[in-house]
Each structure stands twice: as C-alpha cells, then as structure tokens.
Amino acid sequence: MEDEKHLPLAPRDLLVLAVLGEGPLHGYGIIKAVEVRSQAGVLLDPANLYRVLRRMSRLGWIRQTSDSGANVPAGTAGVSAGKSGVSAEKLREGTKTDSRRRTYEVTPHGKALLGAELARLERLLEHARPALADGPTPPWHRERDPR
C-alpha cells in the first residue's frame, strides 16, 4: 500500500479515522467522540481538529458529506469523557440539523489506511507481549559470561 509512508499514524489521526469509521460526524461530534474513545487521553481543540480534517481531506482519507445539514448532538455541551460514559453512538443519536456545520466521513482509502495501521499495531503488540509473560529469559537479555 502506497500509504504506508503515512504510518505510523499519530494517535489523534488514528482516533479521528476510527470514530469516523463508525459513521459520519461533524467537528464537535468528532472532538467529543475522540475524547470519549481515548478516555480524555487525546483532547482536540477546534483549530487543531480543522487543520487535521483539511489535511486528511487533501490526502483523500476523509471527505465532507453531501448532507445539507450536519447532525449536531443534542445536549452534549459540557459532556466529559470518562465521567459521562457517553459513546460515539450516543453522540449520533438525538441530533438536530444545523446547516452551518460540516459533516465528515471516512473514505474507502481512509478505512484501508486505518486497517493497515491497526494491523501494524497488532503485529507490534504480538512482538512486545512476551516481555510481560512468565517464561525463560530470551537469549538477548541473558547476562554475558564475565570470563
């Protein structure tokens, strides 16, 4: 895949693609869904998010939907991840329409990139997990013979 030059993805990019992979969202919905998904570990401010969205759009990973009015989560003001238990699905429910908002969705190209990054991370974890398992010490960690 030619996009492997974009791997590894920054956590912010990975999470934006992941939440959009579940369905279209507008900017505020993306901010809140990433906050919830990361348990407040990745916080996006609007200026940073829109720079990321413009770059991802330019690269063909996401696109603005043709929806004339974006879905705006009702009652999500002040939602705090981790405390509220609000999921990305909840952010899509109970929405109203606001024509000023832009809704974004992941493209097939973006889904493929997300899949490649998740596969890369899974391979990395497979190699790292044995360090936590009880068992013999690998040869590269054994002390050298002092002779």
Q: Residue type for 41, please?
A: G
Could you give the domains of the chain? 2-141 (1.10.10.10)
Residue 4: pLDDT band (50, 70, 90) is confident
Residue 59 burial by Cβ neighbours in a 10 Å radius (0-12, 13-18, 19+): middle
Q: What residues does 104 pair with on adjacent strands? A: 25, 64
Report the distance separating Cα 140 and Cα 26, nearest Å.
50
- Shortest CA distance to 92 belongs to which of 18, 17, 23? 23
CA distance to 31, 58, 65, 81, per residue, from 78 (Å): 12, 31, 26, 10
* Predicted local confidence at residue 103, as pLDDT: 96
Averaged pLDDT of the chain:
80
